[in-house]
Amino acid sequence: MDVAMLAGVSAMTVSRVLNDPDRVRAETRARVLAAVRELDYRPNQAARQLVTGRSGVLGVVSIDTTLYGPATTLYCIEQAARNAGYNVSIASLSSLNRRSMEEGVQRLRAQAVDGVIIVAPHESATEGLRHLPPEMPVVAVDAGDDIPVPVAKVDQRAGAVRVTRHLLSLGHRTVWHVAGPADWLDANGRIEGWRGVLEEAGRPVPDVLRGDWSARSGYRLGRGLAQEPELTAVFVANDQMALGVLRALREAGRRVPEDVSVAGFDDIPESAYYWPPLTTVRQDFGEVGRLAFHMLLDRMAGADPDGRRLVEPELVVRESTGAAPG
């Protein structure tokens, strides 16, 4: 009422400016917003919830990690929600299993969130996603396919296919692979894509080497790879491990890309500044976040969005890959 009186409009007009500004003429909207600033007015969220039945808060359940992929996905989900006027409450878990996910969702339900996005990149999260409260609108990110909730994710298999074909097109007889941990769905999707290309081409399929996403594990595995006389190409499942592989090859006197081509995955901001600059696969985490947010809005409105929405990755060719040595 105070804002309406100062702006010389009705209380209903103030409400429209705050909740549906496109329905109000620009001149009137500017006058109301000037009054809002002058009076330092802030909407009462508790009162708004009583009227609309909505809190304006979305919940996100995610594993507590600083890894580039999950951390960037979480940031992009939060940005998409805030840009649309929603607040975000985050439940960070030390592990993703049925019990921890149920506790995380219950914590968010106690805050009266309107819906929940679950970032679930682990195999162990699948069971928890099958036992969520049916009345709670939920969307998953980076989850498996055999779950009863909609999923938004990057097509990991397609990214691995692109980079493996790129390496074979350069004349390499086969491609070795440094993979991520066995419980990570992304890691296993990349293995499937890599192996499928080699089998389709009738090429030898080397044993998978498992790292833990860190540059240290890449370095450790790279030291062993450097001793393989037939090694000419390696696809590493993320850019941090690729950094370790590059150092190990350099220390062993194996030149990149003259002797060995190296490709990563993620396109972290630093990958363009590795030496040599790293060929990698770019994931559009921003698009994944926007997709997940809009799928959740559909769920909150009672719609049933498509079960799985895939974002296509992009191969980024730089100087760490080249023709097979003659």
- Report how far residue 221's alpha carbon sits from residue 109's, in angstroms, rounded to the nearest whole number: 44
Burial 2-17 (b: 16+ CB within 10 A, else e): ebbebbebeeebbbbb
Asked whether residue 301 is assigned to any structural domain, the reply reads yes
pLDDT at res. 305: 67
Same domain? 171 vs 275? yes
Range of the domain at 219: 156-283
Distance CA 73, CA 78 (A): 9
Residues 149 and 170 in one domain: no
pLDDT of 55 reads: 66
Is residue 238 within 8 Å of residue 180, measured between CB atoms? yes
The answer to whether residue 321 sits within a structural domain is no
Q: Are residues 293 and 204 in the same domain?
A: no
Q: Is residue 51 one of the residues assigned to a domain?
A: no
Residues 128, 216, single domain; the answer is: no
- Determine, yes or no, domain membership for 84: yes
- Verify that 120 and 261 share a domain, yes or no: no
Q: Quick one: pLDDT at residue 50?
A: 44
Specify if 170 maps to a domain: yes
- The reply to whether 125 and 181 lie within a common domain is no
Name the residue among 209, 181, 179, 188 with its Cα closest to residue 95: 181
Instruction: Specify the 3-state DSSP secondary structure of 178.
Output: strand
| Residues 63 and 104 reside in one and the same domain | yes
Per-residue CA distances from 103 to 106, 153, 179, 292 (Å): 5, 24, 31, 22
Closest to 297 in 3D by CA, of 311, 119, 289: 289
Structure pTM? 0.81
Question: In this predicted structure, what is the pLDDT of residue 45?
Answer: 55
**CA 321 to CA 323: how far, in whole Å?**
7
For residues 173 and 136, state if they share a domain: no
Same domain membership, residue 182 and residue 105: no
Half-sphere exposure of 247 (CA within 13 A, CB side): 12
Round to whole Å and give the CA distance between 278 and 118.
31
Low-confidence ranges of the chain (pLDDT < 70): 19-22, 43-55, 305-306
Beta strands 209-210 and 176-179, pairing class? parallel
pLDDT in tens, 238-261: 999 999 999 999 999 999 999 999
The pLDDT assigned to 295 comes to 92
**Residue 216, Cβ density class (10 Å: 0-12 exposed, 13-18 middle, ≥19 buried):** middle
> Is 324 within a domain?
no
The amino acid occupying position 280 is T
Phi then psi for 212, rounded to 5 degrees?
-120, 25
Alpha-carbon distance 223 to 218, whole Å? 9
- The count of structural domains within the chain is 3
pLDDT at 20: 65
Alpha helices in the chain (DSSP H): 2-7, 11-19, 26-39, 45-52, 68-83, 98-109, 125-129, 156-169, 185-200, 215-225, 239-251, 285-300
> Are 20 and 12 in contact, with CB atoms under 8 Å apart?
no
CA-atom Rg of the chain in angstroms: 25
Give pLDDT, residue 52: 47
Report yes or no: 104 and 83 within 8 Å, Cβ to Cβ.
no
Same domain, 233 and 249: yes
pLDDT (0 to 100) of residue 54: 58
Does residue 277 fall inside a structural domain? yes
CATH number at 213 reads 3.40.50.2300
Does residue 230 sit in the same domain as residue 242? yes
Q: Are 204 and 198 in contact, with CB atoms under 8 Å apart?
A: yes
Return the closest-CA partner of residue 178 out of 264, 64, 54, 52: 264
> What is the domain-level CATH number for residue 28?
1.10.260.40
Q: Do 164 and 262 reside in the same domain of the chain?
A: yes
Give domain status of residue 322, yes or no: no
